[in-house]
Amino acid sequence: MGRQVLGTKTKLLASCVVGLLLLLAIGMGSQAELGAGHSQRKRFKRDQTSTPSTTIWQPAVGVKWQIQLVNPVEDTTVDADIWDIDLFDNSAETITTLQNKGRKVICYFSSGTYEDWRPDRNKFQSTDFGNNLDDWPGERWLNIKSSHVRAIMSARLDLAQQKGCDGVDPDNIDGYQNENGLGLTEADSIEFLGFLAEESHSRGMSIGLKNGGDLIGSVIEKMQWSVNEQCVEYNECEIYAAFTEVNKPVFHIEYSGETFESGGAADTLDSATETTTKSKATGTSITTATVAVTVNPASTSASASATSTAADAIKHDSIDCNTATDEEDAEDEEDSMKGEASSDLRARAVLSSKVKTSACNAENAGKFSTVIKNVNLDAWVEYC
């Protein structure tokens, strides 16, 4: 009996212990779940407060643009939505002026060549340089694989960001197509463009591919546009149309073949007229002076008065005759110069018209943003 009571008590005690252990286990489990839930909420909250990615400007297909890479921009009245201008030659104030007019600004720099006139030229090392560029004095190919060169390009992107550029136009990324002296390959250019795109986007700026048609398939997803030179002349527009097919613009340039002066006919004719007028005035002055000396007889006799009168008449007739002859010659010269100027202008107009017709009606380029430019890329521009 005593053993039975003891056994019962033991069982009861064991049950209480087991129950207590179960309660403790349930409590610990609940606390663990609460802790886990708290941790998840903290992680979710941290994700919610993370900085959102910067929206990169994507220009529309067919937008009107202007490119000027010679001299600082002074005339901002050209009716273009996008301006491609030199990073170093233009101030932050110029960029702001354009943006205040509702323009977007792309800043140009050469990412694949050294230029001996740039303000950061002394930052490069001799080991960065490859061959000279044919027909471009002062330029050499750069080793785009070099971390040192890339650091300089990153600094240029810093400058573009500081000046307020909306995007960048890095030139000469196609060293692999040239005798670069550095053994550069297509793969090197693709990797370099990936680096430039990442660096540009991290600074909130867009970036485009300059020429480099062979690279389009590998880099188009990272680029916001293409800048192409002379795809009509080289029958390559179909290649660059890959951009417009994915709603990214092609900023297309065809060159006039000779340099046209801004202002055109008025400047040329004014110059010709000014030269002729100066020549005419000088000639008349010389002729008149010569006649005056020739017909100036001495008067010492009583008939001096009559002689003087006769001399004056001769002088007057001589001046009228010579002046008339000189005026006719000057007018002929002026007409000739105006004729030459007009002929030159007509030749230019014909040339510009031919380039414009072929550029603006080229197959596969119907959606391109096309401009006709001088080879030196000054302010002169023609649109379709």
Contacts of 54 (CB under 8 A, 6+ apart): 201, 204
Co-location of 188 and 281 in the same domain: no
Between 289 and 69, the more confident residue is: 69
In a domain, 109, yes or no: yes
* pLDDT single digits (tens) 248-276: 999 999 998 765 555 433 333 333 333 33
Domain that holds residue 72: 65-261+360-383
Residue 17, pLDDT > 70, answer no
Note whether residue 186 is domain-resident.
Answer: yes
pLDDT at 324: 52
Q: What are phi and psi of 58, to 5 degrees?
A: -120, 105
The pTM is what?
0.67
Q: Residue 284: pLDDT above 90?
A: no
Are residue 269 and residue 319 in the same domain, yes or no? yes
Pair (193, 253) in one structural domain: yes
Q: Is the same domain home to 346 and 370?
A: no
* Residue with token string 């002394």: 122
Q: For residue 325, name the pLDDT band (cuts at 50, 70, 90).
A: low
Q: Are 237 and 231 in contact (CB under 8 A)?
A: yes
> Which of the residue ranges 225-234, 289-298, 345-354 has the most confident prediction, judged by mean pLDDT?
225-234
Parallel, antiparallel, or unpaired for β 104-110 and 113-115? unpaired
* Tokens encoding 37: 């839930």
- Written as one letter, the residue type at 219 is V
Q: Is residue 29 part of a domain?
A: no
In whole angstroms, give the CA distance from residue 147 to residue 307.
Answer: 96
Q: Are residues 168 and 210 in the same domain?
A: yes
- Can you give the pLDDT at residue 257? 74
- Separation CA 375–CA 384 (nearest Å): 18
Q: What is the mean predicted confidence (pLDDT) over 93-102?
A: 98
Position 21 scores a pLDDT of 52
Residues 286 and 155 in one domain: no
Q: How many CB atoms lie within 10 A of CB 273?
A: 14
pLDDT of residue 283: 35
Place of tokens 């004719």: 269
Total number of domains in the chain:
2
Q: Is the pLDDT of residue 180 over 90?
A: yes
- pLDDT confidence tier of residue 353, bands split at 50, 70 and 90: confident
Query: Do residue 116 and residue 213 come from a single domain?
Result: yes
Asked, for residue 197, whether it belongs to a domain, the answer is yes
- Name the average pLDDT for the chain: 77
Does residue 244 sit within a domain? yes
Do 227 and 100 belong to one domain?
Answer: yes
- Better-scored residue on pLDDT, 295 or 162: 162
**Phi, psi (rounded to 5 degrees) for 207:** -150, 150
- What pLDDT sits at residue 48? 37
Residues 142 and 254 in one domain: yes
CB of 243 closer than 8 Å to CB of 231? no
Q: Are 128 and 181 within 8 A, CB to CB?
A: no
> Closest Cα partner for 109 from 205, 182, 173?
173
In a domain, 7, yes or no: no
The residue ranking higher by pLDDT, 142 or 261, is 142
Are both 221 and 283 inside the same structural domain? no
State CA 167 to chain mean position distance: 10
Which carries the bigger pLDDT value, residue 92 or residue 292?
92
Tell me the three state secondary structure of residue 191: helix
Dihedral of CA atoms 329, 331, 337, 343 in degrees, nearest 10, equals -120
